[in-house]
Structure 1
Amino acid sequence: MPLGMLRPTPLVEQATEHLREQITGGHWPIGTRIPGENALAKTLGVGRSTVREALRALAGAGLVQARQGSGVFVIATEPADDWSTRLRRAAITDVYEVRMMVETQAARLAAARRTDEDIASLEAALQARRAAAGGDDGAFVDADIALHAAVVAAARNPVLDDLFAEFAPRLRGRLVDMLELLELRHADPNPGDDTHAALVDAIRRGDGEAASRILQTELEQTLALLHRNAD
């Protein structure tokens, strides 16, 4: 597809898409040095700043790389997978291992940073988990995830919040399947209640070591069950 003048709305997005098409369509193969900013700006009918932002977006997608003194070169013809895509494709046990590392440190931070509001949220989430024990496996897993999300929120780190929010949807379905296939709630409809209560208490007391240790043990047990379910 030949390059051409762009419409006057939103120019950076349009420029990025036009340049991306040159790469993904094979017009600029890997190793190609793409035209300079001035040439691209003239061809697309935009300013150099627009071209520069478009090239940054393409670099962020792993398609091009700037080489000092040489120009910008095509290094891939397909965009690199974003974080969400990689999570969807990853083995559930790999995702859970990363979740375990994130959450155990979040629990340690939560014990140091928790506020009265956080404690109230944790206690409410614990009670909601207990109430969900009378429901189906899906409702119970949702309540369990909500309690863990409250622990992460108490760490007062928005990046940790975002990471957990990415993990949760990927994990939910497999956790529900695991409960059903292994019949884990038949003998006890509220498995892990003592452990989760101890976790909330450790955070309330400000004992980061205990909170991290309790959560590590609980998540390791679930990871072992996931491995068993994957076999």
Structure 2
Amino acid sequence: MQPVRRTSLIAQVTEQLRAEIRSGRWAVGSRIPTEPELTELTGTGRNTVREAVQALVHAGMLERRQGSGTYVISTSTLGGTLTEYFADAQQRDVLELRQALDTTAARLAASRRDDSDIENLRRLLGERTRLWDTDFDAAIEADVQLHRAIVVASHNAVYLEFYDSLLPVIAAGIRFRSAREGETYHDEHADLVQAVIDGDPDRAARTANCFLDSLMAEYRTLDTNFG
């Protein structure tokens, strides 16, 4: 058995890391600081940090990736369970679910977005566009976070929790299609963001739906040609 004091310290650090995830400061899909960085940030030893991180890996909130680091995959233990389920889902099923989720999220976001949401949407759209031809991985990350930011702007915590559980498979689909097809969809993303910023729920929902319709059409083409 470990001394109570040490166990308590691990629990405290685990809760600190969990708070960073739940607050959105460490977004789903992002890489968390390294062990040495976490040791410095928390003022604790490396073994304490390692065990705290491992606790959240077991909880389904973090994922270790060999040679890359540790990434946030969910904002809750429930989300981790859903993430595991969605990992084996068919891409067609994911796109059909996204069509419902993204369309409704866009409508809600256009009605509820605040100044902070608008600033975040503009920043992510700019990053996505700027990085597309120079840093593909960073551009994909900005793309994923842009779609998540629209859900954030809906100000519906339950919606965000569910969407976050789907985010890893959404990211994988975006990466696959972008690498294979070479489509940028800059105009479509810009139109969607502008509709949300303008506070036009109908236009935001219509734009999101049209965008997902085009992705579904391309999926059917790929499925026919390569399935």
Secondary structure of the corresponding residue to residue 133 of structure 2: coil
Give, in whole Å, the separation in 2 of the partners of 1:123 and 1:181.
27
Query: Could you tell me which of 174, 190, 213 is aligned with 1:197?
Result: 190
Q: Contact 2:144/2:170 (CA < 8 Å) preserved in 1?
A: no
Structure 2 gap segments, 5+ residues each: 1-80
- Counterpart-to-counterpart distance in 2, 1:119 and 1:97: 27
Does residue 122 (structure 1) correspond to residue 117 (structure 2)? The answer is no
| Residues 1:164 and 2:163 aligned together | yes
The count of residues paired between Structure 1 and Structure 2 equals: 146
Kept in 1, the 8 Å contact 2:127–2:139? The answer is no
Match of 2:18 in 1: none
- Structure 2 length as normaliser, TM-score? 0.59
Question: How far apart are the structure 1 equivalents of 2:138 and 2:162?
Answer: 22
Tell me how far apart the structure 1 counterparts of residues 180 and 121 of structure 2 sit (CA, whole Å): 29
> Which protein shows a greater Rg?
1
What residue is the counterpart of 1:65 in the other structure? none
Larger helix share, 1 or 2: 2
What corresponds to 1:132 in structure 2?
Answer: 131
Q: What's the Cα RMSD here?
A: 2.1
Letter in 2 for 1:200: V
Work out the CA distance in 1 between the residues paired with 2:166 and 2:135.
22
Runs of 4+ in 1 over 3 A off after TM superposition: none
Shift in Å, 1:153: 0.5
In 1: Cα distance, 2:135 partner to 2:205 partner: 29
Alignment partner, residue 89 of structure 1:
88
Which residues of structure 1 form unaligned runs of 5+? Answer: 1-81, 186-190
What per-residue deviation string (whole Å, max 9, x for no partner) do you get for residues 108-128 of structure 1?
011111111111111111111
Report the equivalent of 2:143. Answer: 144
State the identity %.
31
Partner residue of 1:221 out of 186, 189, 214: 214
TM-score by length of 1: 0.58
